[in-house]
Amino acid sequence: MNPVRLLLLPALALALLALALPAAAGLFSPVVKVNGQAVTEYEVDQRAALMAALGEGGDLYRKALDALIEDRLGELEARKLGITVTDADIEAGMKEFAARGNLDVGPFLAFLKERGVAPETFRAFVRAGIAWRTVVQLKFGPKVRVSEEEIDRALAAGQSGSIEVKIAEIILPKGGGNDAALRALAEDIARAATSPEAFAAQARTYSAAPTRANGGLVGWIPLNRLPPEIAPQLIGARPGQVFGPIELPNAIVLIQFRGLREGGGIARKVEAIDYAVLTLPGGRSAENLKRAALIADRVDTCLDLQAEADRLAKDGAVFTRRSLPPAALPKTVAFEIARLDDGEISSTLMTPDGKALMMVMLCKRVHALPEGEREQVRQALITKRLESYANAYMAQLRADAIIEHVGK
């Protein structure tokens, strides 16, 4: 190598390092100090990326900064109380969090990495959460009492908390021998629905579901209500992502994922779905849709629907009622039932031949009553009460803290 070039290399390396240092220093410089503890620009950017990966919306930078301020306050309180979060605690916490999406830690970390979130960011998030929960448990746990009457009321309310997803839908009923054209239309819609606004416009134009008036928005529903061929795809989906066309025996469905959250209450396993179907000859004619709407206004229960069917039997109406485990539901009705509460009716679908309108009514979801459920309810009520204490205590800590904003 040329001796002159050899002499110049160290100088060049130092020059490049000097250029890189200001950018790196800015990335890791404090944005805010919380009772003397720094929160860096990098940490805020990473927490915002984590929030985005978990489906949260809004001003993520501001939300991330607020969350990290609270993390620092919680960790300072944990230190005062002599609380130590071990590596084993963090590993267990990461495993539990990933399991909420039916994933192991490895695939979940890979999912986060694809979205720009470092493993250390997730570890810090879990560590701070464990520290704060331990603080709350030590300070307020002994104060929380739940009576047997409160447990009875919670059980009677039939709480069905779980992971919930927010979705929008477009439903294109089959029938009349136009399936090929319908598939082509569904693919065109999927390509055009590049945003929630675009999806809503397509839903208002093409969807046959009542949600078309609201741009296809279904809202929040428990993930475990959705058919097994749909539900797993929504874990880890990005907001705005469109799934489909999903082909069912009597409809083509498009779903847009809008968000994911942990629902309230107790997650109770559904043992059976009790449902009824009334078919009205005449397909989706305006007259038939009007008749279905009038029937829906008159009935409150599946017994009421059966009485309507008896009255219309001479016109060819057919009534069936079945009770099946969720996994055994026919694909013709599974997605419709997922969106219904007890006593609600959908008149979106037709029979596969297109000759009759299907009124699908959910009679009830039969929940299993596992051994130890009272204790599960007790613990859930305790957790809810502790959350109230925790929120009030964190508000007090923030009010008493010295929080210096030194960045943007």
The model's pLDDT over 179-238, given as tens digits with 9 standing for 90+, comes to 888 899 999 999 999 899 999 999 999 999 889 999 999 988 888 778 777 777 787 778
Which among 10-24, 103-117, 243-257 has the top mean pLDDT? Answer: 103-117
Question: Residue 324 phi/psi, 5° resolution?
Answer: -135, 155
Q: What single DSSP character describes residue 310?
A: H
Quote the pLDDT of residue 220. Answer: 87
Query: Regarding the domain with residue range 27-142+387-405, which homologous superfamily does it belong to in the CATH classification?
Result: Porin chaperone SurA, peptide-binding domain (1.10.4030.10)
Quote the pLDDT of residue 21. Answer: 45
269-369 CATH pick, 3.30.160, 3.30.200, 3.10.50, 3.30.70: 3.10.50
Reference 376, options 125, 146, 68; nearest CA is: 146
Reference 48, options 95, 112, 97; nearest CA is: 112
Q: Measured between alpha carbons, how far is residue 1 from residues 5, 14, 15, 16, 322 in Å?
A: 7, 20, 21, 21, 85
| Separation CA 105–CA 126 (nearest Å) | 12
Residue 264 has pLDDT above 60, yes or no: no
Q: 395: burial class by Cβ within 10 Å (0-12, 13-18, 19+)? A: exposed
Quote the pLDDT of residue 17. Answer: 44
| Separation CA 256–CA 242 (nearest Å) | 4
User: What are residue 311's DSSP bridge partners?
Assistant: none
Look up residue 319 and give its two tokens: 């009534």
Quote the pLDDT of residue 145. Answer: 86
Each domain of the chain, given as residue ranges in start order, spans: 27-142+387-405, 164-266, 269-369
Reference 44, options 60, 58, 21; nearest CA is: 60
Topology match between the domains 27-142+387-405 and 269-369: no
Amino acid at 258: R
Average pLDDT of the chain, as a whole number: 85
- Distance separating the N- and C-terminal Cα atoms of the chain: 48
For 263, the 3-state DSSP assignment is coil
Residue 367 has pLDDT above 80, yes or no: no
Q: What single DSSP character describes residue 350?
A: B
| Separation CA 286–CA 284 (nearest Å) | 6
Whether the link from the prior residue into 245 is cis, omega within 30° of 0, is yes
Quote the pLDDT of residue 31. Answer: 93
Q: Measured between alpha carbons, how far is residue 133 from residues 84, 127, 362 in Å?
A: 12, 10, 39
Quote the pLDDT of residue 9. Answer: 46
Crossing angle (nearest 10°) for helices 196-206 and 179-192: 150
Domain boundaries 164-266, CATH class: alpha beta
For 331-339, what is the mean pLDDT? Answer: 86
